[in-house]
Structure 1
Amino acid sequence: MANSIDAGKLTDRVAALVEAARRAGADAADAVVVVGRSKGVSVRMGKVESTEASESEDMSLRVFVGKRVASVSATTGSDPKTLAERAVAMAKVSPEDPYQGLADPTLLTKAPRDLDLFDTTEVSADRLKEDALAAEEAALAVKGVTNSSGSGASAGFGGLVLATSSGFLGQYVATRFSRSASAIAGEGTGMERDYDYSSRQHFADLDTAQDIGRKAGERAVKRLGARKAATGAVVVVFDPRVARGIAGHLAGAINGAAVARKTSFLRDMMGKQVAASSITVTDEPLRRRGQASRPFDGEGVEGSKLTMVEKGVLNHWFLSTSAARELGLTTNGRGSRGGSSVSPSSTNLAIEAGAQSPEELVKGLKSGFYVTEVFGQGVNMITGEYSRGASGFWIENGELAYPVSEVTIASNLKTMFLNMVPASDLDRNFGTAAPTLLIEGMTLAGS
């Protein structure tokens, strides 16, 4: 992709901002520029519905005066001296925060690694249009598909340049390409919709437009004739598309900031059994071509691979510097930059694969519910209560028997994690990844 960031120009700007902050009276400071470029095309029924292109270049400065902190945002063309003086003046009248500050200089990475996150392939708007049309055409060619909800393709990149007064100066940029399709099957009130998509950091790694469209169409057709299932206790098997959401709930529950605020249902569980012994969860920021990889975090710290949960036992929180200090710990390089603020987040998180294939998990069930989609906001991260609308397929005698919709599944995430069995089909091509998951003891509300 030709339009990469001008790293030299931007590193000069953030370095100048940090120096201006020190001259204005800051005890410490960091400055960051977050850059993004993207373009995309969406089509429906053979015609272009929209084309879009966006560019962003956001700069922010964070200053520390004693235990006081303030931050300001501006354009990259702003005068460093004026910006720094304003930030320092704000900090001097801010309340003290004993946990804020830069990362320990001994933790800063000296030589950020090349993780192969940037693809130089230049994808034209015409190619994006061709891919979107090809995906839709493949979806419409599936027998039983009656309409299209649209298809799309996009290309872009995002980059970060960071400088700190403790001596760190680094930058990285990552590309992102995607294709998607959404198909409708059936007629009238019996219509069903489904989708497929692919998102990768290298263009050549994308699933083909034809495969994406075909899968979207086939999934939509399989949902025809959906009905409700009977209310009662049920074994639920989560398709990987939905299982990734379960992994995301786990990541939120072991976020150090949530633990410090006492808003996580796992806040008192460090070193204890939080999941079944078959569950191991890893987080790997330095994986090559990883969707959520980064050579350093939002504070300049290189994070290493961590086994967050090992055989069901919780080993780590996701920690930034401030969250770690509040918990009496040390950052593990999971600080994510959101403009001028830094908060903990996962990177390439994965619930590791189990021994059985998805087919073997299903085959062992006399009855159950295979969930392919959930909706609604019924997840309470303080108590762990889980209640979501769901659709999928009813399992009878080890086979997917018929489609199911308009039901609700409920339990508590604490119980769900302890009754979870992972299948062997882990796909790591997602920032948050999970295999098919079987969870016993859930409640289904249907007919």
Structure 2
Amino acid sequence: SNLRLFEFRARVRELAERLRELTRNDAKINVAPETYRAFAAAAARPQAAAEDTFGRTRLRFTARWVAAIPSLDLRATFLCGDVLVVGSTRELTCIDRRTGECLWRKQAPRAVSVMTPVGLGRLLPDGTLQLHELSSGEVAWSTRLSPRVGANASGAVVSAPGLPRMLIVSEGTRHLAAVDLYSGEVRWRYAARRGENFRLRRAGKLVVVGSGEPALAALDVLSGEVVWRFCDRLPFASPVAVDHDALFAVAGDGAFVGRGGARLHHLDPWSGEARWTVDLPKHVAPVGAPLLGPETVCVVTHGRRGTGLVGLDRRTGATRFDLTACAATASCLMVDDVVVVNSEAGEIIGVGAHDGAVRYRHVIAGGAEGDRPRRLEPVLRSGALFVPQSEVHVVRPRDGALLGKVPTDLIPDLLRVDERCDVYVAEESGHLASFAAAPRLSLVQ
């Protein structure tokens, strides 16, 4: 009975805290956003016009090598420069991406891994953060943080010109720690009211933090101080999207289809001021970060009819379209003015971001239900879209033209493509394969 009473009191305190969050309004506006706006404008790279790299050329691939790695961890497998770093249950393996030769192998327990510009960062269950050098696999430094309790670890890498290289990682129950990538020292810490699931997005000299509480905070990357805070009655549990001088954030956890109550906010990313707010349809639940097009912002939704898209005008927030893209779970990617939808049911769909018109639809035949990949995210490289299904298909996103297919027997649970369009496929069973893109001819005028 004492244990039940203790649990009851804990739940009452939790409900009381959540009620206070709903009535609390500690919003903060940055009254001097010019320095942050100027830094982002100076760091922005001019966008070149997209080129039709392949034209009518078809891509051909040849098998290069296959490696067997027992207990392969898909989330700890990275393509970095000329090597592939592969994590497993008990060791780390570094493989030359061209030859498949094992460069080094180190004993290491399973950990949450992230690739940084200076090495592989690994967060162990006891809170130990280590950085491994890619050249040898040796530990460059080790820092002890508070172990993550009650939720998964998350974070972000800071590596922009003019900013110190840092890894911002969740710590303990509700903290963030910014760790210097060269020394391993903690530069600053930030305490959130709730830390169930941190969602971080860097915007210039700011990092925007959503932690499941009904407030969105922007921290200064250098000091960790709160620059602005935007509040809502609904929790911010999804990643935000930032594009130039605009930030879009979905409020509402979307945990249950039909629950309703989600909102889309358009904010100034440097001051935190709201430009407009619209309510999303109640029959759907938003999934992931908003997709940003030239004139529209698209919210991916999941409802009883499947995966849908809600398109809104970026300037006014007016709804342009609300449609069901496919009847199954899908991964979506914005490429120029087309939303590419990759469905686990074997469909590849191109939807115009301007008006919601379906530009193309491919039904990929073959493969049993168990042969679907774990991750459906397409990879854009050199103007071509590499789409994982039971096989890897190459599509031109503008018009949906099929450019080629990778001849692999592996299920592409993890797909990586390098700058030469060479393809690397990892299957959860413990196999990793490389395929080289064959030379192609192009017309020179």
Bin the TM-score by the shorter chain: under 0.3
Select the structure that is richer in strand: 2
TM-score normalised per structure 2: 0.24
If asked which structure has higher relative contact order (CA below 8 Å, sep 6+), I would say 1
TM-score normalised per structure 1: 0.24
